[in-house]
Structure 1
Amino acid sequence: MAPTARRGRPRSETADARILDAALRLLLDHGYDRFSIDEVAGTAGVAKTTLYRRWPTKDHLIVAVVARLQDTVPVRYSGDVRLDLTGYLNEIAAGLNRMRLAGRPATSGDTSAGLVAEVAAAAARHADVGAAVQAMFQRRNALVLSLLEDARTSGELHPDTQPEVLFDQLAGALYYRLLITGRPLDAGYIDQLVAGALRGAAPPATDREKGHR
């Protein structure tokens, strides 16, 4: 009879949380260039081997930190798609602005994309990091697409609205503004962005009137 294979030690969620908490603090303090995976291990109080088994490079760890931040942003349909999208995009913009300023004083006046650009560059350089970034966005975007599908079903959006195309318009504009133009991501811009996108996706007036009867 063949010997039973020995199972490895189960992954500790507590250790994961300590690592990601430490990584976020150090990332915001130091920025991408001075972010050290060894320093994260020391701050979290775990062995470096423990950390490297989970995230083999700092790029993998940073993607995990960003994914965790995104997971704190609620996504649900309340019956008012404009309110829901505006709230969601403002939360995402706040996170992007934090990443933009990572390692720099808030008064620096630097309008570069900062850490967000570094993550995009790492995703382009390394296929496995790129796959992790795509999986992160695919998982989160599925929630937003479900919200938009609910809004279409309820009659808030035109029946021909394609949720994926509508959300591409919104998210694409945010990242274009951040990565290319360097313009501010503020509440006023997001209000205009959502209003413009929904104006094109609104159902005919007669359909809206029927929905309110």
Structure 2
Amino acid sequence: MHSPTDPRRARSRSKLLDAAASLLVSGGAAAVTVDAVTRLSGVARTTLYRNFPSTDSLIAAAFRRLLPTPDPPPADIPVREQLLHLCTSMTRLIQEAPLQQSMLGWLAMGRGASDDDEVGQLRRGVVDSYAEPLHAVLTAAESDGTLTPGDRDLAVAQLAGPVVLARMIGLRPYSAADVETLVDDFLRGRLTGAGAAGADS
């Protein structure tokens, strides 16, 4: 029996994920079948099931591998510029990556997942990629007195949620001006007196 760190098992898993990711890119989640993945990867069906207990688990792991990451903003610019940088990067990824719409739609199905489940890891990957950079900017701005403290998860929903919703239901893409409006509307409710003075200078 192979250990979880066995290089042969790692190679097999990597081949399976490469095949599943390729199928996702070319045909969406419906294209990721056990037959298609084993044929493309050259890995046996029994090995697939040793690595992934279900097709959902395999699809989630492949989505996670393909998850794009927003560009982090420079830390030495004002909070408005940091948020514009980050929100512009997230908007571009959400609107331009072909997988993003189907991935976010699939996640929105509300399926429960444990922490050890590939679906749970995918959900955490989304949080790590999108929420954590915003949390970092907001934490720093709250610490230096630029922003009043607030619910950071709600802030993520306020800044990224409209773009995700527009993409998922087929509204027009967000423009640079739209992103600027999102950021300014958010900051209007969160800037302290000192932060507002700094933004006006």
* TM-score, length of structure 2 as denominator length: 0.71
Aligned length: 191
The separation in 2 between residues aligned to 1:39 and 1:32, in whole angstroms, is 12
Instruction: Provide Cα deviations, 1:127-168, integer angstroms capped at 9, x if missing partner.
Output: 75663444333433234312321233345x413243222112
Q: Given the alignment, which residue of 126, 141, 158 partners 1:169?
A: 158
Contact 2:84 2:183 in 1 (8 A): no
Partner SS for 1:46: coil
**Is residue 133 of structure 2 the alignment partner of residue 153 of structure 1?**
no
Q: Extract unaligned runs of 5+ from structure 2.
A: none
Partner SS for 2:67: helix
**Is residue 63 of structure 2 the alignment partner of residue 66 of structure 1?**
yes
Contact 2:83 2:134 in 1 (8 A): no
**Is residue 9 of structure 2 the alignment partner of residue 8 of structure 1?**
no
* TM-score, length of structure 1 as denominator length: 0.68
Q: Given the alignment, which residue of 123, 134, 142 partners 1:144?
A: 134
Q: CA deviation at 1:7?
A: 6.2
Q: Extract unaligned runs of 5+ from structure 1.
A: 1-5, 101-112
Contact 1:28 1:98 in 2 (8 A): yes
Q: Given the alignment, which residue of 111, 119, 123 partners 1:124?
A: 111
Instruction: Provide Cα deviations, 1:157-197, integer angstroms capped at 9, x if missing partner.
Output: 41324322211212322332233x42133334434323322
The separation in 1 between residues aligned to 2:45 and 2:136, in whole angstroms, is 39
Q: Given the alignment, which residue of 186, 191, 209 partners 2:174?
A: 186
**Is residue 72 of structure 2 the alignment partner of residue 85 of structure 1?**
no
Partner amino acid for 2:137? Answer: L
% identical equivalent positions: 22
Partner SS for 1:10: coil
From the superposition, tell whether residues 72 and 45 of structure 1 become closer, same or farther in structure 2 (CA, over 3 Å): farther
Contact 1:75 1:144 in 2 (8 A): no
Q: In angstroms, what is the RMSD of aligned CA positions? A: 3.5
Contact 1:89 1:190 in 2 (8 A): no
